[in-house]
Structure 1
Amino acid sequence: MAVVLKADHIDKYFKKPVAFHVLKDICFDIKRGEFASIMGKSGSGKSTLLYILSTMDTDYTGALYFNNELVTGQSHEKLSGIRNRHIGFVFQFHYLLSEFSVLENVMLPAKKLGEKSYQEIEYDAIEKLKMLHIDHLAKKRASQISGGEKQRVAIARALINNPSILMGDEPTGNLDSYNSENVFSIFKQLKEEQGLSLLVVTHDIDFAERTDRIIQLEDGRVVN
């Protein structure tokens, strides 16, 4: 099975206010079509790890590979390209632009990547909305839809560039149980039908136990 993401002996220190060893010798990989979750107590380093794995934090030692390509040490411009092309993000807060329509929000990352025409991007965005059963909301302003719908729009936006991996930082943290279940079902469907890899930081044990694997962090180390 192809490896999409590999963390190889990653260490991270915070320098201020005092030196603190936050991540210690992190080693694991995520295979194509694998749905993994990261769990750990508050302060165990979960979000810090996700920021490194998503290439947004480059101040660490060790090595990070995407699709067998070393990304550690690459220029910020190259890393930005890798993020746009290969990584979809879903956060606890949806970060939609409220004055834009649902469709415009979903199109944004593809317009930034700049590889397709406006018409192609619009078509792709509508297809993603259809897949998530929210195409009827396409013309609505983001400010006019419910919290659960906003998170679905955020997932559609994360998928617009057909990433290799979808990363989530507490993607169900602001949702009620009904909408949390919807998000889990969407993620499972993406894994099973599209072969997408998913890596999700969560404190929801019910969510995590239904993923393929739990990566447990304790005091900055992987303990399982």
Structure 2
Amino acid sequence: MSVIEWLFSATFHIGDQQLLWREVIGNVFGLASALGGMRRKVWAWPVGIVGNLLLFTVFMGSYFGGSPLPDMLGQAGRQVMFIAVSVYGWVQWRATKRQNLEVRADGTVPADDGAAVHPRWASGRARAGLVVAMVGGTLALTPLFRALGSYEPVWADAWIFMGSLLATYGMAKGWVEFWLVWVAVDVVGVPLLFSAGYWASAAMYVFYGAFTLVGFFVWWRIHRREQSETAVPTTSA
């Protein structure tokens, strides 16, 4: 049996629950990507893409390995979206890292050691846009996902899809708030995935919830430190 054949057929049991190894492996790649994102590493994007490809096959199980679990179109669709937005983020972070590693005129390199992104707060307009896109996108996608036969409650699947899109875009832009969007996704995603029988993904979402809160404060502190380092001291006349 080849590695690919094993990956698509291998399962294990926890109690009376049968889990797919590729669901676990895909989520591990996702966690590694989140860790890389918190540390502002460019490799977070390609690692995440590998996890997205694996999880796409999990949530479209009727087409990949004959899984008895229901197909979840929103979850599968968001993996495709992740890949597209991750390519954008990958390009953006690589460009920032190259710029930050450029040798200065005096022969030194920046003290940030080539950070791939500089966290910042989104503008008030961008925040309002996130809220409008989250609610409006969920309302717009719910009837579409329902017509395509997505798992109930369909609005939750649509919410997770939109939140994932906005959070990934926010990460690419370097907005500190993107971590909080992930929290909103996790709050809805955990009960939805448990109810559908995707135990490994649901358990990982629980962990993600705590991890994203940590990531939020890490990026917040980085932003405050960089702001203080670039502040111009004032002198009295």
Is TM-score (shorter-chain normalized) higher than 0.5? no
Higher strand share: 1
Using CA pairs below 8 Å that are at least 6 residues apart, which structure has the higher relative contact order?
1
TM-score using structure 2 length:
0.31
Bigger proportion of residues as helix: 2
What's the TM-score, normalizing by structure 1?
0.32
